Structure 1
Amino acid sequence: MGPLDALIHLLSFAAPALVLAPALAAAGRLLLPRQRALVPWWGQVALNSIVGLAVLALGLWRFGVDGKMATYAALVAAVAAAQWVGSAGWRR
């Protein structure tokens, strides 16, 4: 596998987390605009991305392959929890 193929594989592996993170942060800002968040928008995107990539890496380690539906379900749950924490959801 050449370097370009390795880069494409890495980006394909990270794509679900890197797409879900800004989408969830934007949705949180659009749906609840009056709520004060603990971190700014870009901080929530960064937090969601880090949590999402960690969950994908743990799923790859646990199952030995990428693309398991259990990993994607855990990704959605973990990033939603990170968004809830970053937007101070417990204060509502």
Structure 2
Amino acid sequence: MDFLGALWHLLNFLAPPAFIGLVASLAARLLWRRDMAGVSVLRLWAWSSGLALAAALAAVIVLGRDGKILGYSAMVLGCAVGLWWAGFGRRH
């Protein structure tokens, strides 16, 4: 595999956690407008995407490959935990 092919593989692996983190962050800000008034969307996106990426990496390590439903489920769970931590967890 050449450099360009490896780069595309890496970007395609990073795209789902980044996208789900962005959509979930925007939805969380819309749904909990008053509760998350002091939290920026960038902070929510960073936490949710970061933990979703960590879950995706752990799924690849444990399951041996990408693209399994269990891996995507772990990614969604990591995203939810990141949103909770960034939006609600640090205040308490």
Question: In the alignment, what sits opposite 1:49?
Answer: 49
Name the TM-score, length of structure 2 as normaliser.
Answer: 0.88
Deviation at 1:89, TM superposition (A): 6.2
RMSD of aligned residue pairs (Cα, Å):
1.9
For residues 5-84 of structure 1, the aligned pairs below 5 Å read 5-36=5-36, 39-84=39-84
Deviation at 1:9, TM superposition (A): 0.5
Runs of 5+ in structure 2 lacking a partner?
none
Q: Do the aligned partners of residues 42 and 55 (structure 1) sit closer, same or farther apart at CA in structure 2, a change above 3 Å counting?
A: same
Q: Distance in 2 between matches of 1:70 and 1:33?
A: 31
Runs of 5+ in structure 1 lacking a partner?
none
Q: Distance in 1 between matches of 2:90 and 2:4?
A: 44
Q: Do the aligned partners of residues 49 and 90 (structure 1) sit closer, same or farther apart at CA in structure 2, a change above 3 Å counting?
A: closer
Deviation at 1:88, TM superposition (A): 0.6
Query: Structure 1 runs of 4+ off > 3 angstroms?
Result: 36-39
Question: In the alignment, what sits opposite 1:4?
Answer: 4
Name the TM-score, length of structure 1 as normaliser.
Answer: 0.88
Question: In the alignment, what sits opposite 1:85?
Answer: 85
Q: Distance in 2 between matches of 1:50 and 1:90?
A: 17
- Percent identity between the aligned chains? 35
- Tell me the amino acid that sits aligned with residue 63 of structure 2: F
Size of the alignment, in residue pairs?
91
